[in-house]
Structure formats: structure tokens, C-alpha cells
Structure 1
Amino acid sequence: MSNVSGVSAVTDDPSIAARTDAYFNRTRTIVGSYGDVRVTYALFLRRPVIAACRLMTDWLLGVAAVRGLDIEVEQNFAEGDWVGAGEPLVYVTGSFHGLVDLETLLLQKLGPACVAAHNAYQMCLGLPQVRFLAMEARHCAGFEMQEMMAYAASVGGRAAEKEGALGFIGCANDATAHFYGAISGFGTMPHALIGYAGSTLRAAEMFHESFPDADLTVLTDYFGREITDGLEVCRRFPELAAAGRMGVRLDTHGGRFLEGLDPQLSYAVIERHVPGAIRRYRSETELRHLVGTGVSAAAIWRTREALDEAGFPAVRIIASSGFGVDKCRVMADARAPIDVVGTGSFIPDSWSETYATADIVAYDGVPRVKVGREFLLRKIEDRSGRGRSATKDDA
């Protein structure tokens, strides 16, 4: 049985048949009547990705064990490797009758994970000195997707770590914390706790009284007083602030500016710290990330100014709200003083980009694939030592 948890662990034939495409089920019936062959599948995506195949291969091996199949899984890339568009990630060889009805589910488990891993990788490389916290769960369509996205972020983060980035340090849920080598999720308070407490300070006090050994990260935007409320909490807990055990989380709504800012003052903040950034923006979206409403680079710089001026240089800034690949790039260009980014925006924006594809490239060892997909054939070495695609003549 696969070690993949939840719904994705389904390996019994009736459940697989109900979830796969009808033409695969019918093909399985036909092959059962006319005779089995040993085939090789190539699985690939049409865009560059980061290899994140383990959830898919774990499930496949689980099904093979239940069915008693003798299969070979040839992974062309290590987990976390960069993969070019159209390059086969995995070759799977085994009984056509045993594999044909698995294609739909295999592709579901491969494409989205690889694209999300690529997004996470790019985000971490864009802000290499920032730690990332995966907060994808609330944006997922059930636990199977949540598990896949958390796994993908961990793979992309580790790939970025190999290139010097700090990467993803964890996630917000206990169930997926193991992907980051942790036993529990991270997090302190939602906006709801502040509403319940009646003030940002009282919510912080309640949290600290309940969890005195935990670091304190306080949301500051509930009442629109990010600076005022953040400093009030710092003054209430000066020991935590001085010890670096405290952070303020900026999650300002995109419909308003951070406390004390407006367009003119936002420009002024950027000019004080990174005057060149405002002259390098290339789109209205980038300009909004720099000086617009919500959690902009100007908002982050203004918060850092206020904390430092008040004598709290060790208090961390945790930024959230729409931190995808593009926003991370803008923040890097603005050298925004972020300590941690909380984000689920590695989830692909365009779901059509996540579509993986599979083609059979050999039947009983004879190379054969539909016209136009010859690039999927296994590469072999000719006498000159140069790689070429296999053909029927090689059988």
C-alpha cells in the first residue's frame, strides 16, 4: 500500500475505475480479451517545471503492489531538478492491461505538483534571504490538493536552498508538516481572534498567556492601525521584542493603504530607501506592488522604519497577501526588509499549465509513438557516442 495519505491512497480497482476516463476502462477490457503486451509510458509536461514526482510514483507503486504487477519506474530527473518543456519526467514499463486505466490518475498527481514546485522555486530564488511559510490549505479544493501543494512547495524550496536561498521552513498545518521535516504547523493568530479579543493588544496577551513558550507574531491590520497597534504590542512585550521572538504580520487589504500612507507618501518611502526601484517598474502591477495599496514594498519599508525608530530592530516582519512569483521579484528589486513570507500563491494561476500528458512509446520493446511525439522515445547511444531516438529498426 502506498504511503500517500487521504483520498490519494485509493488503490482498489472499483475506485480507480470510477475515477478514470471511460476509454481507458474499455481499453483494459479489450486488452484482457485480445492479449496483453508490455508497454512503456512516457509522462511529460509542455512547459518547464521542477521534478516533483514522488506522490505520483508512490501511488503507482502502491497500485502495482495491490495488483501484483511487475513494473519498472525510470525517473529521468531527481526530485527538485529543473526539467525542460516536453522532456519525459518518468518512463513506466509494465503490463498494458495493468497500467492502462491508471493514466488519468497518474497525470492528476504529476502536473500540478511539478508546476507548483517550479513556482515555489522561483519565489525562493527571487527572495533568497527570506524564509517562506506555506499557507496553501485555505485555497485548495480538499485535502488531496492541499497535500500535493504542500509537497510541491517543499520540493521547490529545497531546490532553491541548493542554490543558496533559505527556502520554505514549514507550513501552517500539522498534516503536511512532515514534508518540511517538522511535526507541526506554524502560526499564531487569525483576524478572528483579534475580533474576539476586541483589540490587537488583547489578542496578543491572550495568545502569550495561553502559549508562553511560543514566539509571538501578531496581525496588525484588523483595525487599520498597522503601525500604532504593532508598536503597542512591542511595548507590552519588550523582552520578546528584544530577544527576536516577536514579529508583526502585514496582511493589509488591497483596498486600502497601510496606516499613514497614501500614494505620495508611498513614493517618498521608496525614494528614501531604494530610489532606483521606482524607475525600473515595467507594468501597472509592478507599480502597485511597489507603492500601491495592500502589502506593498513601501508598506514594508514604512513598518521597518517605525519599528527601528521606536527601538525594536529585532522585531521581524512577516508579509502575506498575494506573494506570487512576480510580487517576490518586485520585493527583491525594492530590497524590501521582509523576514518571512506567508503564502499559498505558488498554487498555479493558470490551471491549464498543469496539464501533464502520457504516451506509450514502446510495445513489447518495439519503439512506437504517435506522429509528432517522437521526442518522447528513449534516447540510445549510436556508435559515435551521440544520443538519438530509438526507432522500430532498433528493436
Structure 2
Amino acid sequence: MSAADTGRGWPAAGAFGPTQALDDGTIRSRTDAYFNRTRDIVTRFGDRQVTYALFIRRPVISAPRLMTEWLDGVARARGISLSYDIMFPEGAWVGAGEPLIYITGSFVALADLETLLLQKLGPPCVAALNAYQMAMALPGARFMAMEARHCAGFEMQEQMAYAASVGSRAAQREGALGFVGGANDATAGFFGDGRGLGTMPHALVGYAGSTLRAAEMFHSTYPEADLVVLVDYFGREITDALEVCRAFPDLAAAGRVGVRLDTHGGRFLEGLDPQLSYAALERNTPGTIRRYRSETELRHLVGTGVSAAAIWRMREALDAAGFPKVRIIVSSGFSVEKCLSMADAHAPIDLVGTGSFIPDRWSETYATADVVSYDGEARVKIGREFLLRKARDRAVPARESAS
């Protein structure tokens, strides 16, 4: 599938070195030994045409493209022909245990690919569902993918950014704004852009010595860029946000200033405490706090860190000071659950920066593969007969990979 198939940008072929390991030696070293031994045995005793079914035990959103593009590359490198049926188009909901894809080809050619195929299928599908749910929880907010710092290397980062783009497009088809970009250039193509998004880290504010000075330095260096300023470094979120807005009134009036709330969970936003947090919510979203809440929901609504109350208090302060067009950007643990709490509180969020679509429980990302036919004869281990029941109307036509 090319960029033209989605109408979006797509990183250049071969851009992701770690995922493009196509030679037999590298594949053999990275796959489980019993698959390598299976390939050796089948080579000795006679090849067969087999069909694999790949599935995940929990509901997901279909995100198979990194896997199928890698598989296409292996087919070209090995000079083999194979075919695969994608049972759910990219971005479609998939029920628990439903086969996502059937792959047919030589057993010798496919036996040692299972480990790497599963690595490239499960995590993106689960993360795509998380990204979709986050975007749907806050359909009027834009999201920026900030997964890179939480990933175990670039291959995982690639998978997570791709997943965010897939889940986002699924949400956008239902009216949500979704993810508009990522935090670095390497994965920006997944979001139809050539550059990563972002302005400044806390380190720049510390270097500058004040929030205002950091804003001045940034604007002097990047005068054409919108000015988004971290305002929690000195614990004066409201004071420093208003100081920056007053220093750049034209940008603020034009909607080109944003304040990013990243207050850590050890303290409240400037001027808030538990009682004042409850009051801020009651002023702006009466009734929200009165319903039954779990401890986690209460923390998201009126607790320390970037709570719904903190966001509402910042909006009140900006509006009262004459800066209604200054945007509020939030970060710090915006998971599906936190986004749902923010939606319930009607928090005035313009953009969410998050990497929390990365699955919390990695065991939920485990994909599984079973051979379901040998030379056209249906055969699968007891208990996996459900894999034999192919959908009558395939969502995506069979795709041929050949040398």
C-alpha cells in the first residue's frame, strides 16, 4: 500500500533501517529457534503449501501495514511468491480472536518468519485502538503523538506512531479531529507532514531563567512558528502564562500563542488546592463532580497535576485577562481513561500531547499465528477451529507478493 492509497504522507521506503532486516541470516538470528529448526526439517523432508491465520485475543483496530510491507520485502529478497488476505481493512474494528490476515505460501519460505510477523502486528493494532478511543473521547481536541521517549528503540517508535495515525484516521472518519502530527521528523509522514511538532522542553526554560525569556528566545529563533510555552517550571502557571501573553499581545490575539500545562502529580496548579479545585469545576461544569467517582477519576478531575479543574482555572484566567484566543495544550499521562474524565468535565482543551496510547499491559499485544491448511487440506490444532471460518466477503482482496 502506498501513500496514495491513504491520501496521507508515508515515510520513504527503507527509511526505517531496523525494520527492514530482510536477509536470511538476520531473520534466522532474530526468530525463535524452533521455527528455524522447522524450516530445516521441512526443507529436508519436502515442502508444502500452507496457510497461516494471524489473530489477537482482544478487540483491536486493524493496523497490518508495517507487517505486510516487511513481508513484501522478504518475498522480494527471497525471490518467492506468496499471497495474503487482509480480512479487515486498515482502521477497521476487529473482534477478539478474529483472524486479521491469512498468509499462504511455501512452508519453507514462511516457517522462520512467524516471530517477526507477530512482533509487527500485535502492538500496532492495540495501540491503534487506544489512539482511536482517545480521539473519540475528546473529538474537539487535536492530539500530538509523543510516543518516542517511552519506546524501547526506534522500531517500537515506528510501530506506535503508525498506530496513532491509523487509530486517528478511524476517529476522523467519525468526526473527531484526532492526531495532527508527531513529535519528530522521522515519523511525521504517518500524519501527512514532513516535520515533527513541538516547541520547547523544560530544560530550555531552566536555561533561560524565566518562562518569558524562554518564550522570547524561541520567538526570536523561530519567528514564523506559533509560540507554545511550558508554564509549570516555576510553579507559576497562571502568572507566567499571562506574562507571556502580555509580552506578545498580537500573537495572542491572532491565536498563535498556546500555554502548555505539564504540572507534575506532586502539586496543584498555581492557586489551587482540593477545595478550590472542586469550586473551579462547579463554576464551569455544574454537576460533574457530584456523580459517583472512582479514586482515579477524582484525581483526573480535581487532583494534583494536570486536572480538569486546573485546565478550567487556566481558561478562566486567560479569558478574564482578555486572551480568549490563547490555546491550552495539555500533557502528562493523558490515557484513554484520563481523556474520558476530561470529556465528562468538558475541559477546554485545544491540543493533547501524549504517548499514552502505548499499551499499558504489553501482554495484551501478543499476536498469535496458526497454520490452518497444508496443501489445501484444512487442519488446525484442537481449540483453534474458529480460525478455519473465513469471512465470506473479504474486506480487502488477496494481495500477491512475488519476486
Question: Distance in 2 between the 1:369 and 1:279 partners?
Answer: 54
Matched with 1:57 is: 68
8 A Cα contact 1:72 1:94, kept in partner: yes
Query: In structure 1, what is the Cα distance between the partners aligned to 2:185 and 2:237?
Result: 29
Worse-matched range after superposition: 64-73 or 176-185: 64-73
Q: 1:379: Cα distance to partner?
A: 2.9
Distance 1:368 1:2 in 2: 37
Name the counterpart of 2:337: 326
Paired with 1:264 and 1:313, the residues of 2 have a C-alpha distance of 26
Corresponding residue for 1:391? Answer: none
Cα separation, partners in 2 of 1:380 and 1:160, compared to 1, 3 Å: closer
Classify the secondary structure of the residue corresponding to 1:80. Answer: coil
State the TM-score, normalized to the length of structure 2.
0.93
Given candidates 92, 98, 107, the residue that maps to 1:96 is 107
Please give the per-residue CA displacement for 1:173-194, whole angstroms capped at 9, x wherever unaligned.
0000000000000001000000
1:317 and 2:337 aligned: no
The aligned amino acid for 2:194 is: I
Q: Which residue of 2 aligns with 1:210?
A: 221
5+ residue gaps, structure 2, are 1-11, 394-403
Q: Answer yes or no: is the 8 Å Cα contact 1:4–1:58 preserved in 2.
A: no
* 8 A Cα contact 1:132 1:170, kept in partner: yes
2:361 maps to 1:350: yes
Partner of 2:143: 132
Q: Does 1:38 align with 2:49?
A: yes
Are residues 1:266 and 2:266 paired?
no
Q: Say what the alpha-carbon RMSD is for the aligned residues.
A: 1.2
3-state SS of 1:303 partner: helix
How far has the Cα of 1:4 moved from its partner? 6.1
Q: 2:193 maps to what in 1?
A: 182
Give the count of matched residue pairs.
Answer: 382
| Deviations 1:145-173, CA, capped at 9 Å, x for gaps | 00110000000000000011000000010
Q: Which has the higher contact order (CA 8 A, sep 6+)?
A: 2
Greater Cα shift, 87-96 or 371-380: 371-380
Q: 3-state SS of the aligned residue for 1:352? A: helix
State the alpha-carbon separation in 2 of the partners of residues 369 and 2 from structure 1: 36
Displacement of 1:68 in angstroms is 1.1
Q: Answer yes or no: is the 8 Å Cα contact 2:232–2:262 preserved in 1.
A: yes
> CA offset at residue 277 of structure 1?
1.1
Where 2:121 maps in the other structure, the secondary structure is helix
d(CA) in 1 for partners of 2:101, 2:16: 22
Matches of residues 60-139 of structure 1 in structure 2 within 5 Å? Answer: 60-139=71-150
Trace 1:358-369 onto structure 2 (pairs within 5 A).
358-369=369-380
Residues 262 and 380 (structure 1), Cα distance of their counterparts in 2 relative to 1, 3 Å cut:
closer
Letter of the 1:182 counterpart: D
Relative to structure 1, the CA distance from residue 2 to residue 95 in structure 2 (aligned partners, 3 Å threshold; closer, same or farther) is farther
Residues of 2 paired with 1:319 and 1:2: CA distance? 34
1:189-204 map, 5 Å: 189-204=200-215
User: Which amino acid in 1 is paired with 2:89?
Assistant: A
Instruction: Report the secondary structure of 2:25's partner residue.
Output: helix
SS at match of 2:229: strand
Note the C-alpha offset of 1:378.
3.9
The answer (yes or no) to whether the contact 1:126–1:325 under 8 Å persists in 2 is yes
Superposed CA deviations along residues 337-370 of structure 1, whole A, max 9, x for unmatched, are 0000000000000000000000000100100000
Question: For residues 186 and 197 of structure 1, what CA distance do their matches in structure 2 show?
Answer: 21
Report if the CA contact (8 A) 2:171-2:178 is conserved: yes
2:87/2:391 contact within 8 Å kept: no
Q: By how many angstroms is 1:279 displaced? A: 2.0
For residue 43 of structure 1, give the secondary structure of its aligned residue in structure 2: strand
Identity of aligned residues (%): 75
8 Å contact 1:50–1:118 — kept in the other structure? yes
The normalised TM-score by structure 1 is 0.95
Partner Cα distance (1:237, 1:5) in 2: 40
Change (3 A) 1:191 1:2: closer
Superposed CA deviations along residues 12-68 of structure 1, whole A, max 9, x for unmatched, are: 001001000000000000000000000000000000000000000000110011111
Cα deviation for residue 120 of structure 1 reads 0.1
CA contact (8 A) 2:94 2:100 kept: yes
Q: What SS does the aligned partner of 1:36 have?
A: coil
Distance 2:21 2:144 in 1: 29
1:3 positional shift: 4.3
The separation in 1 between residues aligned to 2:124 and 2:71, in whole angstroms, is 15
CA contact (8 A) 2:261 2:330 kept: yes
The partner residue of 2:294 within 237, 261, 283 is: 283
Alignment partners' CA distance in 2, 1:59 and 1:144: 12
State how 1:23-34 maps to structure 2 within 5 Å: 23-34=34-45
Structure 2 counterpart of 1:393: none
In 1, Cα distance between equivalents of 2:382 and 2:288: 49
For residues 77-133 of structure 1, give each alpha carbon's deviation from its aligned partner in whole angstroms, at most 9, with x where no partner exists: 110000000000000000000000000000000000000000000000000000000
Q: CA deviation at 1:2?
A: 6.3
**1:6–1:143 Cα contact (<8 Å) kept:** no
